[in-house]
């Protein structure tokens, strides 16, 4: 996953709430994925317009107290979405390269 690649939701995947929990599912598939609040925000930003870098930045603005952990959380969440088949990457590269993504130490 390159910072400038743009994740885009795959067709027919839906994020819905049931009993206070958010679930990501596809109507024709059995696997489901539970999402917390930040994951649901990331999902909504996977519109094919926002880059990974932009998504990270936006979440950082929304949750300034968690600025240190957000990059890793965005990476992990996008990876889960991708493994689930719920997103595809368009734009620059489609390989996961976590070393590009980690915040520098210090």
Judged by the rule CB under 8 A, the positions of this chain that interact with other proteins are: 11-12, 14, 16, 18-19, 21, 23, 25-28, 30, 32, 34
Residue (30 or 99) nearer to other proteins, CB? 30
Give me the least distance between CB of 47 and other proteins, in Å please.
18
Nearer to other proteins, 31 or 44 (CB): 31
User: With respect to other proteins, which residue has the nearer C-beta, 34 or 65?
Assistant: 34
Minimum CB distance to other proteins, residue 82 (Å)? 19
Q: Which is nearer to other proteins, 19 or 65 (CB)?
A: 19
Count of CB atoms situated within 10 Å of the CB of 12: 11
Give the nearest distance from C-beta 42 to other proteins in angstroms: 19
What gap in Å lies between CA 29 and CA 5, rounded to an integer?
27
């Amino acid at each position: 996953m390159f910072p400038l690649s743009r994740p885009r939701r795959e067709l027919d995947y839906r994020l819905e709430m049931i009993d206070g929990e958010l679930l990501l599912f596809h109507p024709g598939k059995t696997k489901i994925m539970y999402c917390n609040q930040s994951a649901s925000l990331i999902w909504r930003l996977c519109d094919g317009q926002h880059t990974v870098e932009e998504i990270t930045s936006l979440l950082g603005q929304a949750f300034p107290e968690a600025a240190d952990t957000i990059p890793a959380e965005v990476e992990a969440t996008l990876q889960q979405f991708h493994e689930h088949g719920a997103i595809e990457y368009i734009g620059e590269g489609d390989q996961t390269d976590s070393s590009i993504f980690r915040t520098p130490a210090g």
